[in-house]
Chains A and B, each alone.
Chain A
Amino acid sequence: MSVEFDRKIHDTLADANLQLAIYTATGRLKEKRIEVTADNVLPDYQELRTQANALKKHAIDNLDHYLEEFERNVEGYGGKVVYCKDATEVSDFVLDLAKRRGSKLIVKSKSMTTEEVDLNERLEHHGLESVETDLGEYILQLAHEKPYHIVAPALHKTRYDVADIFTKELHVARETVPEKLTLIARGVLREKFLKADIGISGANFLIADSGAVAIIENEGNARLTTSAPKIHIAVAGIEKVIPRARDLAVFLKLLARSATGQLLSVYTSFLAGPRRPGEVDGPEEFYVVLLDNGRTKLLPDRSKRESLYCIRCGACLNACPVYRKIGGHSFPWVYSGPIGAIITPQFMGVSHEPALPFASSLCGACGEVCPVKIDIPKVLLELRSDVKKSEAREGQNRVEKLGFRIFAWVMTHPRVYELAGRMAASMAPAGDGKWIKSVPAPMSVGPLKAWLSERDLPPSPSRSFREMWRHR
């Protein structure tokens, strides 16, 4: 485990206020999801999950076909599709366009894909102003932080934190009432919308048969972002493509319910191409940036490519007992929680943070709530195996490897196993049947020390089961 990962976990666990904030907020989202997916509310919930999984599987299995269809249809409406390999290509495209059009101000609606490529930082580095307009994202931009959660980016901030940030960064009188804080943000952002040259959004779905991007949101800021400025750029991962508009009948029933516990989000927008003659609003130019950034590496891998089915609802984060303890910023990349634990090693390589796939008790709560039925625990297990293979190639972690080789040998030699068990029992401190609080210093190493750092150890029984069985 990297020192940084270890430290972030420790710091988050040690912060009582943060612990309460994370646990309460995720708990609320978790409960709401359960309410709106209950049998009496959505009787076909499980069937919808099965359908969503089948649709995503089909789309990913035929990704080339649907991306080409999408591109043809976008261009048919006068839009343009831009394929980008990585973060640099995305920012180069935006910077080049901004330069040619003389653009200075960019407004952005919420997009994990742009977070993934650090778009704001890259644009600002070149002198452009790029403003987040989703309230949570705006708060975090002012605080110079990355999203804490896929759908609730400022989940870890209390209203008092937000008051402090606004006072410091916007030089306004301190307000702690959420509605008033929202009005302050709205006042600032309205001006930005009116002045912006370019609007950058994400996309929840790329609809192949309609050449449209679908954007699902609650605040209306994505509508303003995509319609007020003269140029709209939607940035999306290539895996967001779905075959038909009618497939949304399945996904829209699942997305908001899984994400926020709403039946439907407040705004669902379908955007296809720039403003056409006779239309009163919409951008003059319409671009869809399709990002790879490691995604195509998953395509040949049948055991794990289901990771690309994700619709970024965040339900797995709220259900995860690990996320609910260590929060979003402990994770080594912008994607946190169970989904982050499976896509980070695949997009960035397993050596990015080799401990990440191991930071799970494999409880399975994530897979249970995933609306597109990604078998996250299975993928975690595959990744653990990948990490160990990579370590073996690099000659790392040799002691652990030796330990498991000995384990396998002992477990296939019952006599040795029995003897080893009795030896271990004879070395254990006498606890008089009570649970053991500590062991002598020379024994307090490795797993034993780690166990005892948090919990007591069971006393060794006087006889193993097999001995009792023989003598009964």
Chain B
Amino acid sequence: MGKQVSLFVTCMVDQLFPKVGMAMADVLERLGYGIDFPENQTCCGQPAYNSGYRAEARTVARHFLKTFEASQTIVVPSGSCTAMVTHHFKELFQKEPETLALVHAMEKKVYEFATFLTDVAGVEDVGARMEDVVTFHDGCHALRELGIQSAPRRLLAHVKGLELREMVPAEECCGFGGTFAVKFAELSGAMARTKIEAIVGTGAHTVVSLDPSCLMQIQGALSRAGLNVRTMHLAEVLASR
């Protein structure tokens, strides 16, 4: 039996951006990984947690822990959902020592997709080719909670035909923020437009990120502004050949 990983595709990829999940599976398979998709998976609980509904977040988090208990390695196409499991589940179960033990075991098994490739699989060149000029948007949770900055850039640097142009600033929030995007829609939209100015300033044709939620916000605002710039998840870029 070869190397095996479980996919946690996140509810957003499952329901809205399934191609991202398929691309991630494609890249992992090409690297020789056996893949399973635990069918009971749904969400990590972050929407409830960030909205202040901790009891509801705990319920969903418990479901996640149960669903992935048997998995040895879990790969996630989102920095934000990864950080929810590795950084915030422990906050939710402070007062439940037994669950907390499960959480700590889980924290070691869950990987954001880009860092899984560079740190676990040990690859930077996945054999991808994409003729394009791209810019990279750092998702806030990937950058500041998980400390991911160089991994996606190293992976992009090895994509044949691809030119990466950094936007300034790359690390400023796109304004998504979960329910923030609808609770403070006007403010969130203003933040997205500032992000878009930075993107357009690079002259890139494509914005790449690790987080489908940032990409939904950015693409939604690009589309509203009538700008001909597309968004792609890193997995989709790496699956291109």
- Give the complex CA separation of A360 and B178 in angstroms: 10
What does the 1/0 interface line of A131-171 toward B look like (CB < 8 Å)? 00000000000000000000000000000000000000000
Contact of B45 with A by CB under 8 A:
yes
- Total number of A-B contacts with CB less than 8 angstroms? 202
Q: Which chain A positions have C-beta within 8 A of B59? A: 408, 411-412
Given contacts A407-B56, A455-B217, A460-B16, whether A361 and B51 have CB atoms under 8 Å apart is no
Q: Scan residues 10-62 of chain B and give those whose CB is less than 8 A from a CB of chain A.
A: 11, 13-19, 21-22, 25, 37, 39-43, 45, 47-57, 59-60, 62
Inter-chain contact B187/A411, CB cutoff 8 Å: no
Interface residues on A, range: 35 or more
What does the 1/0 interface line of A397-410 toward B look like (CB < 8 Å)? 00011001101101
Contact of A326 with B by CB under 8 A:
yes
Contact of B220 with A by CB under 8 A:
yes
Q: Least Cβ distance of B235 to chain A in Å?
A: 12
Q: Which chain A positions have C-beta within 8 A of B181? A: 361, 450-451
Which of B45, B53, B88, B180 touches A361 (beta carbons < 8 Å)?
Answer: B180
- Give the complex CA separation of A382 and B49 in angstroms: 10
Main secondary structure of the interface of B (DSSP, over half): helix
Inter-chain contact B185/A466, CB cutoff 8 Å: no
Inter-chain contact A404/B48, CB cutoff 8 Å: yes
Inter-chain contact B194/A321, CB cutoff 8 Å: yes
Inter-chain contact B63/A411, CB cutoff 8 Å: yes
- Give the complex CA separation of A381 and B90 in angstroms: 14
- Give the complex CA separation of A410 and B48 in angstroms: 12
Q: Scan residues 156-188 of chain B and give those whose CB is less than 8 A from a CB of chain A.
A: 171-173, 175-188
Q: Scan residues 182-234 of chain B and give those whose CB is less than 8 A from a CB of chain A.
A: 182-192, 194, 216-217, 219-221, 223-224
Q: Which chain B positions have C-beta within 8 A of A468? A: 18, 21-22
Q: Least Cβ distance of B236 to chain A in Å?
A: 13
- Give the complex CA separation of A365 and B143 in angstroms: 10
Contact of A442 with B by CB under 8 A:
no
Inter-chain contact A384/B63, CB cutoff 8 Å: no
Inter-chain contact A325/B190, CB cutoff 8 Å: yes
Q: Which chain A positions have C-beta within 8 A of B45? A: 408, 411
Inter-chain contact A325/B183, CB cutoff 8 Å: no
Q: Which chain B positions have C-beta within 8 A of A411? A: 11, 42-43, 45, 59-60, 63
Inter-chain contact A454/B52, CB cutoff 8 Å: no
- Give the complex CA separation of A411 and B11 in angstroms: 9
What does the 1/0 interface line of A171-193 toward B look like (CB < 8 Å)? 00000000000000000000000
What does the 1/0 interface line of A359-373 toward B look like (CB < 8 Å)? 111111101100000
Inter-chain contact A455/B221, CB cutoff 8 Å: yes
Contact of B141 with A by CB under 8 A:
yes
Given contacts A388-B51, A408-B48, A458-B17, whether A450 and B60 have CB atoms under 8 Å apart is no
Q: Which chain A positions have C-beta within 8 A of B9? A: 465
Contact of B106 with A by CB under 8 A:
no
Given contacts A435-B220, A437-B224, whether A414 and B21 have CB atoms under 8 Å apart is no
Inter-chain contact B140/A358, CB cutoff 8 Å: no
Contact of A128 with B by CB under 8 A:
no
Q: Scan residues 96-126 of chain B and give those whose CB is less than 8 A from a CB of chain A.
A: none
Q: Which chain B positions have C-beta within 8 A of A417? A: 11, 42
Inter-chain contact B14/A384, CB cutoff 8 Å: no
Q: Which chain B positions have C-beta within 8 A of A453? A: 185-186, 189
Which of A412, A451, A456, A465 touches B18 (beta carbons < 8 Å)?
Answer: A465
Q: Least Cβ distance of B146 to chain A in Å?
A: 11
A322 to B, closest residue via Cβ: B187
Which of A384, A450, A460 touches B52 (beta carbons < 8 Å)?
Answer: A384
Inter-chain contact B41/A388, CB cutoff 8 Å: no
Q: Which chain B positions have C-beta within 8 A of A363? A: 140, 144, 172-173, 177
Which of B50, B88, B145, B192 is packed against the most chain A CB atoms within 10 Å? Answer: B50
Q: Least Cβ distance of A429 to chain B in Å?
A: 15
Q: Which chain B positions have C-beta within 8 A of A437? A: 223-224
- Give the complex CA separation of A401 and B55 in angstroms: 11
- With A461-B17, A465-B21 known, 12 other A-B pairs at CB within 8 A are A10-B186, A361-B191, A362-B180, A363-B140, A385-B52, A404-B51, A410-B42, A411-B42, A424-B15, A437-B224, A469-B22, A469-B37
Residues of A within 8 A of B (CB): 1, 9-10, 13, 23, 321-322, 325-326, 355, 357-365, 367-368, 378, 381, 384-388, 400-401, 404-405, 407-408, 410-412, 414, 417, 421, 424-425, 435, 437, 446-447, 450-451, 453-458, 460-461, 463-469, 472
Could you show 11 A-B contacts with beta carbons less than 8 Å apart? Answer: A322-B187, A361-B191, A364-B140, A384-B52, A388-B52, A388-B53, A404-B53, A408-B60, A411-B42, A414-B39, A454-B189
Residues of B within 8 A of A (CB): 9, 11, 13-19, 21-22, 25, 37, 39-43, 45, 47-57, 59-60, 62-63, 88, 91, 140-141, 143-145, 171-173, 175-192, 194, 216-217, 219-221, 223-224
